[in-house]
Amino acid sequence: MIMLLLAALALPAAGRAAETASQIIAKCAAKVSASPSIKFKFTLQYGERTSPCDITVARQRYRMSSPEMEVWYDGTTQWTYAKAQKELSITEPTADELLESNPFAILSHYDKVYKCRRLSGKGLSIEMTARSAASTVRKAVVSIDPATYLPQKLIVTLSTGRTFTASVGTATVGKELPVSCFIYDKKQYPAVETVDLR
């Protein structure tokens, strides 16, 4: 009887152990994209700089806030407001450019742009290596919470050799949000210089 109970308890862990890297990252990406919205509070470390950030992701849209900037992305257009300069830039970013303000965007392209490999050790860690040498991102290591399948930590190595790390403090699934939440509202930011780079 005790052996049967132990075997039953081991089944979930055994199932996770049998999952491939692609299956794990696919589950993580599906969890993020299927949620009406998710708010991540995370710490972004880039070189010697560390910034507390939060980002609300709703499928292909997001809004990010840090001490240095505010970013809105509606799925096509990105507005980036640099607080110190009081300057707004408007772009239509590429997939690689989106990573500059949304490190979680890497999950959207795991199957087309990256080769995935499961790393040994505790938890669920996936190494994603760029298929193309032209990619801005050389590789990324994504650590995933085995209970929720949401990302816990991302370590991204750029083609320049520089690395940035996003360490998630909390991830909160929220309600459906209107598109206006992801569009810059100029009435809220008076006296801003605008640079349209589209």
pLDDT of the residue at 88: 97
In this predicted structure, the answer to whether residue 82 has a pLDDT above a threshold of 80 is yes
Banded model confidence at residue 17, pLDDT cuts 50, 70, 90:
low
Q: Residue 168 is which amino acid?
A: V
Range in 37-46, 114-123, 139-148, 159-168 the model is least confident about: 114-123
Lowest mean pLDDT among 62-71, 100-109, 136-145, 180-189: 100-109
DSSP bridge partners of 86: none
pLDDT for res 19: 87
Alpha-carbon span 45 to 121, nearest angstrom: 23
Q: What is the CA radius of gyration of the chain?
A: 19
Residue with tokens 């997001």: 62
Q: Domain 23-196 belongs to what topology?
A: outer membrane lipoprotein receptor (LolB), chain A (2.50.20)
Whether 125 shows a pLDDT value over 60: the answer reads: yes
For residues 88-96, average pLDDT: 91
Give me the pLDDT at residue 45, please: 94
Which residue would you say has higher pLDDT here, 4 or 107? 107
Task: Give the start-to-end residue ranges of the domains of the chain.
Answer: 23-196
d(CA 157, CA 107): 15
CA distance 59 to 54: 16
d(CA 124, CA 115): 16
Mean pLDDT of the chain: 88
